[in-house]
Amino acid sequence: MERKLVNTTEMFAKAQAEGYTIGAFNVNNMEALQAVIEACEEEQSPVIIQASTGAIKYAGIEYFMAMMGAALETSTVPIACHLDHGPDLETIKKVIDAGFSSVMIDGSHHPLEENIRVTKEAVEYAHSKGVTIEAELGRLAGVEDDIDVSAEDSSYTDPQEAKRFVEETGCDSLAIAIGTSHGAFKFTTEPQLSFDILAEIRELLPENFPLVLHGASSVYPELVAKCNDNGGAIPPSMGVPNEMLTFAAQNGVCKVNTDTDLRFAMTGGIREVFANSPAEFDPRKYCGPAREAMKAIVKQKIAVFGSANKA
């Protein structure tokens, strides 16, 4: 029987019931996808493979879906294919028609009423195709791919607005803003997340409604150091500590997005080869170590999220 991508309905229900979260890993190329799938297969963890609009433009939708087909053929774990930060209904329709099993419509930059309107439109189309849909309320600061939000323009999710938003849109999951941010430079002092807001949102939403954290990479110091020790120039960076992610996983967050940590792992792996072997020009000799570095990070995240042996 041919394996197929799954949507996130059963994934999230199981995660909520058993108190873990599912890693949603952004990939841009073959090596990144291989790293994520191999790690999840070895740990028997369900996984959400994410592509931003930038990743789709970079790889091409046809190539990307062909790689997803290969991932299904070479693994046994449940895999959802998710659009990260879909900007409009046209993009949502394009990726659903191409075979994505889950999508995000990001109307967070709109006023509440407009966000509700565009999300409802996306929900109607996605549900007609059996695809689950994530929405966002509140704005995360930071820069990543097509996302660029200043600290002044960021805002935490209002719990009362979240209640109304979920009721009126019919979205399947909601990305909330409680202090995380996109990109590498999340905190300048000790990391703080507003878990009181998370608790209030959980209280107001339907029981076990799936919540999502974006901008939740940990920006491990050893990964930054590996880049800088091998010719990089990355300023001091700070991300979300593992213990905060574990707490979120045990308190209603069933999807955590990870992108920056994979970028650091890949870049550090490549830089190390170039620094140690400056005459190297075989892509397999530097993309291979980069793939292994990303795989190690995915396994570490699976341990933090508690999703091992949950496939």
* Closest C-alpha to 4, from 94, 95, 73: 73
- In eight-state DSSP terms, residue 18 is H
Asked if residues 135 and 175 have their Cβ atoms less than 8 Å apart, the reply is yes
> How far does CA 289 lie from the centroid of its chain?
23
Residues 290 and 215: their CA atoms lie apart, in Å, by 22
CB 161 within 8 A of CB 174: no
Strand 173-176 relative to strand 132-137: parallel, antiparallel, unpaired?
A: parallel
What are 89's two structure tokens?
A: 């209904």
Residue whose structure tokens are 């090596």 = 31
- Give the 3-state secondary structure percentages of the chain, helix then strand then coil, rounded to 5: 50, 15, 35
Active-site choice (84, 145, 172, 261):
84
Strand 147-149 relative to strand 142-144, pairing: antiparallel
Is residue 146 annotated as a catalytic residue, yes or no?
A: no
For residues 140 and 138, what is the distance between their CA atoms, to the nearest angstrom?
Answer: 7
Q: What residues are labeled active site?
A: 84
